[in-house]
Structure 1
Amino acid sequence: MASPPPRRAAAGPALIPALLPALFPAAALLAGHRPEPGWAGEVAAVLTGRWELLAGAAGVTLRASAAGLLAGTVLAVVAAWTARAAAGTRVPLQHLMLVCYAVPLVAVGPLLTAALDRAAIPVIAAAISVALPVFSAAEAGLGAVPGRLRDLLAVHGAGRRRALLLLEAPGAFPYLIDGVRFAVPGALLGALIGEWFGAERGLGVLLVSGLREGQDGLVGAVSVLVVAVSSLVYAVFTRWARAVRRRRGMTGRRT
């Protein structure tokens, strides 16, 4: 099946924020609950009346998620290259990534609180959330390099580091971008959950505060903002991934 036109496909995630007023009531009905009358107006009032507070908190959460995304990506790439380069390390590293991804962040949070500075917890939680998707994508990209090209470099005397820089890293880059694209929502969610454990500012702090004090409008506004930001960032990475694949002559593969 042919992939959709680039502009239409990339616009899909960006349209999600506009559909939120219809999505939330539909989700409530599917869960067996009737949405409260006037909830959309209450959320809109919070978004407009307390925008400075929400924007400042969103900036804190975005910085933490970006730092976690970067740290998790670097860790995952190093682990993927190690799994390919060092014999006997692939399965243990895969299991380690799976365990870290499978353990709920709400269970890891108290342990991190006892061992680390609370300001670092959102970044670490975001890094944990992105490590497995990026690791899987990077490992697949490194494994997709044709063996004959590796043999050609070896015949010409290229060492392991040179083969990585000249062949494996460029070949794996489109896969890596895809992995980061799918990890972006996880990074934002990880930072949001990490802020529950003692952070002073952030969307996670506002979310917990709204739940504790029964401020449904604030909870809804934070939820709308998180989904909107996540969808827009995902759309940006989708366009980037498609541009990279087009330049590499990989337009026939779906993104």
Structure 2
Amino acid sequence: MDFKNVNDLENFFIEQDIFAMEALKLEGDITEVLLVGENRFEKMLQFIKRNEIKTVLYQSYIVNEEDYFISNDMIEDLMDEDTIEFLKENGYMENLWSVISQHNKQVKKHLGLLDSYIIEVINEGVLYRVGTTNFGIDTPEVVIEDFLSNYESDMEEHQNELRHHNFKERMNLRREQERKTKEALENLITENIDQLKSLPNKPSRIEYMTRIAEEKGISVYKKDITMSLDILLSKK
């Protein structure tokens, strides 16, 4: 079989009474056609068994605890620390546990049943994908994503506050480091004040203190050394 276009595909399946459907062509690395609409699963399986299409991939999704159930210890894997902290600070954790509880009840009710399936038919270099859902039970990732979408704007504001807080922390740390460096430099100058006074001129004093500071592991700019020398030497 070689379908020339999407209309040929639609007409073919309608004539076979397998789908009352429509098809949508998607762009990608491989030509892909998504089939949507009411499908007749048993007739599709019979059709596949007759080997009238070259390659068929069938994937079923059975409701099981491993793939669908959300346990308490999964939360840290599904959300980052900042998000969890946001939910706790704003009293939203109770809402989350409620959503998870309802989801888990639905999972237990449908354990072992076929939740959905996808059939992929590859023919003449074209991929035709058919999918349907019986119960529409979401995976843990989707449950959490849907829940968090309710607080998207609040979370964005929270993230901005965190960034601002982190920026302030970095600035405070930088100022503290600068203060400690300045203090260490001034102490070093005081310790070497006699030697500095014996040097003939300002450039030689700057070079001397630059070398001493490097030996002591003090990272400082020459302009800061110059400023500290001017202040301290004027007092001595």
| Length-normalised TM-score, structure 1 | 0.20
- Relative to its length, the structure with more helix (as a share) is 1
**Greater gyration radius:** 2
| Length-normalised TM-score, structure 2 | 0.21
With a CA cutoff of 8 Å and minimum separation of 6, indicate the structure with the bigger relative contact order: 1
